[in-house]
Amino acid sequence: MTILSHKSVPRQRTPSSPDMESDAKERFMANVLLIGHQPDLYMHLSRLFADGGHSLDVVSSLEDGIRHCRASSCQLVVLEEGMDNALEGIPRLRSTQAAPQVVVVAERYNPERGKAALLSGALNYMPKGKAPRAITTLLERLPSFGGNGAEGPDLRDFGIFGSSAALRAQFETIARSSNADVNVLLQGETGTGKELFARAIHRMSQRRGGPLITVDCASLPEHLVESLLFGYSQGAFTGAAKSRVGLIRQADGGTLFLDEVSELPMSLQKKFLRVLQERRYRPVGGGSEESSDFRLVAATNKDLQEMVREGTFRDDLLYRISTMRVLLPPLRERGLDTIEIAEHLLQSRAESNGGKVWQMSAEFRARLLAHPWPGNVRELVNVIDCTLAVAGDGDMLFAEHLPATIHAGMLPQSSRPWQGRTPARRSTDVTHHGMHDRAGKMAHGVANGAAPSHASHNPSQGPSHGRPHDTADEAAAYATHAGGAHPDALPSFREARREALEAFEHAYLATLYEAVGGDIRQACSLSNLSRARLYELLRKHAIME
């Protein structure tokens, strides 16, 4: 990544009054990033920034810009519209740790593109000719726009916990456009809170008095999807003794939330596209057309652009459902939010446990912050519940109470600790008294590194357990081993994380499959995975044929 940097130095001038000296001290000085390849815009901005004391960096690609915002403090991004996937990059830039405001600069002004940019989270959209002066003026007002520590909506009112700039930036995007009544696409990994954001969008909108109809596309049987969404007329098929109103009609006057929209069958996507375009449809079995006035919010953890390229998702439907895109940051990129969420969980568990209060030790907090959280908030909930069960009557939580994979980090598996092989099964005599459900037991089993080999998938073989004090020795062994690794043997961060996640997936799925005795329905319920996704993962890891 090549970054050109221009640290603007204010021109020397002598203040003529104490007021001017005060203004100079209070002047807001911003770090600005230009993403583009037009040198004339860079030169204009660098000259104008000289008086303001602002710094200006420039990169030539969107990906480099995102990396820069992850690693550096940045209050404003100037994004050239001509860059590849410029508008799609706006929520990605806003969801970085820096959570910068974004201004889109166009070679030629296009009102429709401007609207799309603003709904994607941009602060402003402007033609190139007016950009330098407009951006300079905008910088003076930047502290009042929020997103960098300014007051904003109270996320807790919507069941969303966290104070990170990355999270607040996305929430402010939906709050700012709450009354726009446009279709919204929520993107993010599993467990990042997409359903909570969907509910927040509905509650802040003008449609909050209407219904919120949630449809889990992944759980709908393919042969019933159309009749469930569109409804059906009496006699439309065998067993249709009377007409039934579909979910689309039920959402009239409110919001239709399509969770896991990527699972919508191709055979239905064209019909649903017409519903979005005209808000009219015909129930299964014929009859007269019906109408439904709803706002669509869709969510996915898949790359829909990649699915379009693969021919498994319609490009015209993608454009229609994503008038506004919101990219929810994973927990590992939200800093101290992990601790804030853990504190909230402990408080809520205390309220349901007779007022018992738990405290987190320093090393306990450190382990939480160091863990990559592939399952995001959903995984954190399971880990906290598991930890409380292991802690028993104690009121101080120590690292030893955590599941071993979190307490010890990635355990060494060979001379290269990141080989990605399935961790060996450990023995432990920890019992799980007080575990509130089987999901908690299973989460603890997986997190303790109980990754059964393929031969151990026999449901009659219960998972084995380990002693909590073993983890301290293993942590020390790992630290010694990793610390002595030759630099040439170290993989890239991306590779190490990928291999660790692969190992986690296998361990979790193997334990899940064993715990439910091969019952796919129960496995889907415990894991919150769709049947199709669960089958895909089980085959990927050779846990079932």
Contact 316, 276 (CB under 8 A): no
Report domain 336-540's class.
Answer: mainly alpha
Looking at per-residue pLDDT, the higher value among 440 and 91 belongs to: 91
Q: What is the pLDDT of residue 432?
A: 31
Same CATH topology for 4-10+29-145 and 336-540: the answer is no
Query: In CATH, what is the architecture of 179-234+242-329?
Result: 3-Layer(aba) Sandwich (3.40)
Alpha helix segments (H runs only) across 208-282: 225-230, 247-250, 266-278
pLDDT digits (tens, 9 = 90+) for 205-256: 999 999 999 999 988 887 788 888 988 776 556 666 577 888 999 999 999 9
Looking at per-residue pLDDT, the higher value among 192 and 500 belongs to: 192
Helix (H) or strand (E) holding 493: helix 493-515
Looking at per-residue pLDDT, the higher value among 27 and 415 belongs to: 27
Q: Taking the domains of the chain in order of start, what are their residue ranges? A: 4-10+29-145, 179-234+242-329, 336-540
CB burial of 106-125 (b: ≥16 within 10 Å; e: otherwise) equals: beeeeeebbebbbbbbbbbb
Mean pLDDT of the region 68-74: 86
Residue 425 has pLDDT above 60, yes or no: no
Mean pLDDT of the region 518-543: 82
Report domain 4-10+29-145's class.
Answer: alpha beta
Alpha helix segments (H runs only) across 95-178: 111-119, 131-141, 165-176
Looking at per-residue pLDDT, the higher value among 209 and 479 belongs to: 209
Of 10-19, 390-399, 483-492, 536-545, the one with minimum mean pLDDT is 10-19
Mean pLDDT of the region 50-66: 85
Of 210-214, 269-273, 323-327, 497-501, the one with minimum mean pLDDT is 497-501
Residue 498 has pLDDT above 80, yes or no: no
Rounded CA-CA distance 540/527 in Å is: 16
From the list 156, 171, 172, 188, the residue with the least C-alpha distance to 340 is 156
Residue 260 has pLDDT above 90, yes or no: yes
Q: What share of the chain is helix, strand, coil (3-state, %, to 5)?
A: 45, 15, 40
Rounded CA-CA distance 306/140 in Å is: 40
> Residue written as tokens 């974004």?
102
Mean pLDDT of the region 248-267: 94
Fill in the DSSP letter of residue 14. -
pLDDT digits (tens, 9 = 90+) for 502-523: 888 888 888 888 888 888 888 8
pLDDT digits (tens, 9 = 90+) for 130-182: 888 888 888 888 776 654 444 445 788 899 998 887 888 888 888 877 778 89
Rounded CA-CA distance 421/525 in Å is: 28
pLDDT digits (tens, 9 = 90+) for 279-330: 888 887 777 788 999 999 999 999 999 999 999 999 999 999 999 999 999 9
Q: Can you state the angle between helices 86-94 and 165-176, rounded to 10 degrees?
A: 120
Residue 495 has pLDDT above 60, yes or no: yes
Residue 481 has pLDDT above 50, yes or no: no
| Longest alpha-carbon distance in the chain | 89
- Could you tell me the two tokens for 212? 């919120």
Contact 301, 190 (CB under 8 A): yes
Indicate whether this model's pTM tops 0.85: no
Mean pLDDT of the region 40-46: 82
